[in-house]
Amino acid sequence: MEDNKMLKAIDLNDSLNSENKKVFETFEKENVIYFVLAKDLKNADMPLFYETIKTFFQKLTKSIKVDVDSFISFANKDLRRCSIMTNLVTAMRFWEKDPFTLKTKDVKELKHEAIVDESLRFMYEKAQTIAESQFFCRRLQDTPSDIMTPIKFVEEVQELFKPFESKVKISVMDKKQLEEKGMNLILAVNKGSSIEPRLLTIEYRNSDSEELFAYVGKGITFDSGGMSLKPSSAMKWMKFDMSGAAIVASTLYALVKNEIETNVVAVMPLTENMLSPNAVRPDDIVKSYSGLTVEIDNTDAEGRLILADALTYAARDLKATKIFDVATLTGAMIFSLGDTFSGCWATSDEDWKNVRTTSHWAGEFIWRLPFHDDFIKPLKSDFADLKNSSNDRKAGSSRAACFLKEFTDGVNYIHFDVAATADKNDRGQGVMIKTLYRFAKEHIKKECDKHHCGC
């Protein structure tokens, strides 16, 4: 009976491994599927662990039992128990059911059973929350754009946070408020749409630290390219262009539900990018919220426009001490890092070091790419302070990153381009949630750190 199968971690050198299977390979004996691990696994091995085990669960056609404790026993000084737990649980929940479906038949649903010792229950529950938040993210991502409009996105987030109303401050700016505020880049992108834009923020303060991280997410609920229309092959899957916003909202949910001591505000500019007689056009010039004027070179480079206003808002109004953004920003990512790594840009080496370590814990592949003055030179405009794109195809992803940095008021800035990783095989992946979650948990400086009291 396949239903009774059990997944169990086993050491490479265990005598049961008579076929000498390698680390992360599996073999089966008497209804037990053994997943080979080793004592000297490192934190840096977790991205491959997560991918491998996720693929293992994807192939299952029946529910199985998972001996969670056997996996956790491979923790060591470098590889944390909570990292193994989080990656195992998020992978095992990933394929249990489709986050969104309108299929009327053949809907597949599995429910794997986790066997967890009482002493690990707490850690398991925390990991379950992260799996749940990833599921929420993927549902928003997969939902078609005629349903998942900026208005609907806001409603979904409000609904999600209902049980935690006293713990967070959710605010929503509508079109009129964006006009009053002068968020003209968000408004410019919205001009071609029949649906109003929104700027959604979720503020969570649960630490006495003076630090506040801003997690800014690109929320283009559909990217047609606007007047600089995309060809049809490139327009397919542009419902996923709100992935950044879904990722940051979901991360906040996990932090709040798990009662993490941290201070984070998620900022989500939400709009469609459509074309119409009213749409913004190439050569138009728009005054950003920061005050810089921007010549629209290509209306399809809209992500950087809405993010620019949101980044300035995070720096000036919210007074964030570190600003992160997550965006499906540039198609060029597929050439630089394939769909394996998310691109990361950081203004500080120290931040990069910490983000990299955190991404290992989180089982997520990221790779650093550079900011450089050469990349922004082609964005010099004859009529405005800068333009949003150029025909120069060199380092397009870095050019977008450099453009965004201009709007951060010099605050420490970490940018993630998830254009090639946010969705795979036509499904949202909920990437970067685990990394952002862990970073907020680990890297908010406490009052006491400042005075070096050593606690």
Q: Which of 167, 205, 230, 446 is an active site residue? A: 230
Q: Is 302 in the site for ligand BES (CB under 6 A)?
A: yes
**Contact region for ligand BES (CB under 6 A) — 99-107, 144-152, 300-308, 357-365?**
300-308
Please say if 230 is a catalytic residue. yes
Q: Compute the least distance from the CB of residue 325 to ligand BES, in Å.
A: 14
Residue 332: CB atoms within 10 Å: 20
Q: Compute the least distance from the CB of residue 271 to Zn ion, in Å.
A: 11
Among 192, 303, 378, 428, indicate the residue that binds Zn ion (CB under 5 A).
303
Q: How far apart are CA 375 and CA 372, in angstroms?
A: 6
Residue whose C-beta lies closest to ligand BES: 331
Q: Is 429 in the site for ligand BES (CB under 6 A)?
A: no
Q: Compute the least distance from the CB of residue 194 to ligand BES, in Å.
A: 20
Residue 161: CB atoms within 10 Å: 19
Do the strands 32-37 and 26-29 form a parallel or antiparallel pair, or are they unpaired?
A: antiparallel
Q: Compute the least distance from the CB of residue 448 to Zn ion, in Å.
A: 42
Window 238 to 257, contacts with Zn ion (CB under 5 A)? 241
* Torsion angle defined by CA atoms of residues 248, 254, 256 and 261, in that order, rounded to the nearest 10 degrees: -100
Place of tokens 């990394």: 435
Dihedral of alpha carbons 281, 286, 289, 292, sign: positive
Q: Compute the least distance from the CB of residue 248 to Zn ion, in Å.
A: 16
Contact 368, 269 (CB under 8 A): no
Contact 198, 151 (CB under 8 A): yes
Among 45, 142, 241, 406, indicate the residue that binds ligand BES (CB under 6 A).
241
Please say if 304 is a catalytic residue. yes
Q: Compute the least distance from the CB of residue 303 to Zn ion, in Å.
A: 4
**Contact region for Zn ion (CB under 5 A) — 142-150, 167-175, 281-289, 294-302?**
294-302
Tokens standing for residue 317 = 């109004």
Residue 36, classed as helix, strand or coil, is strand
Among 389, 398, 421, 435, indicate the residue that binds ligand BES (CB under 6 A).
389
Window 51 to 70, contacts with ligand BES (CB under 6 A)? none
- Residues 6 or more apart whose CB falls under 8 angstroms from that of 67 comprise 6, 7, 8, 9, 115
- Partner interacting with residue 330 (select from Zn ion, ligand BES, none; CB below 5-8 Å by kind): ligand BES
Q: Which is nearer to ligand BES, 88 or 419 (CB)?
A: 419
Do the strands 285-287 and 293-295 form a parallel or antiparallel pair, or are they unpaired?
A: antiparallel
Radius of gyration of the chain (CA): 22
**Contact region for ligand BES (CB under 6 A) — 149-157, 193-201, 324-332, 372-380?**
324-332
Q: Which is nearer to ligand BES, 200 or 305 (CB)?
A: 305
Q: How far apart are CA 292 and CA 311, in angstroms?
A: 13
Q: Is 223 in the site for Zn ion (CB under 5 A)?
A: yes
Q: Which is nearer to ligand BES, 89 or 332 (CB)?
A: 332
HEC per residue, 388-451: CCCCCCCCHHHHHHHHHHCCCCCCEEEEEECCCCCEECCEECCCCHHHHHHHHHHCCCCHHHHC
Among 92, 275, 419, 431, indicate the residue that binds ligand BES (CB under 6 A).
419
**Contact region for Zn ion (CB under 5 A) — 98-106, 187-195, 293-301, 446-454?**
293-301
Q: Compute the least distance from the CB of residue 330 to ligand BES, in Å.
A: 4
Q: At what angle do helices 150-160 and 121-142 cross, to 10 degrees?
A: 160
Burial of 371 (0-12, 13-18, 19+ CB in 10 A): middle
> Which residues, in sequence order, are bridge partners of residue 167?
none
Q: Which is nearer to ligand BES, 67 or 142 (CB)?
A: 142
Q: Is 209 in the site for ligand BES (CB under 6 A)?
A: no
Tokens standing for residue 416 = 């993630």
CA 279 to chain centroid, in Å, comes to 29
Q: Is 279 in the site for ligand BES (CB under 6 A)?
A: no
**Contact region for ligand BES (CB under 6 A) — 16-24, 47-55, 63-71, 298-306?**
298-306
Q: Which of 8, 54, 139, 304 is an active site residue? A: 304
Nearest to 438 by CA among 144, 2, 80, 16: 80
**How many chain residues touch Zn ion (CB under 5 A)?**
6
Q: Is 190 in the site for ligand BES (CB under 6 A)?
A: no
Q: Compute the least distance from the CB of residue 241 to Zn ion, in Å.
A: 4
Window 325 to 384, contacts with ligand BES (CB under 6 A)? 328-332
**Which positions touch Zn ion (CB under 5 A)?**
220, 223, 241, 300, 302-303
Catalytic residue IDs: 230, 304
**Which positions touch ligand BES (CB under 6 A)?**
223, 241, 298, 300-303, 328-332, 389, 396, 419
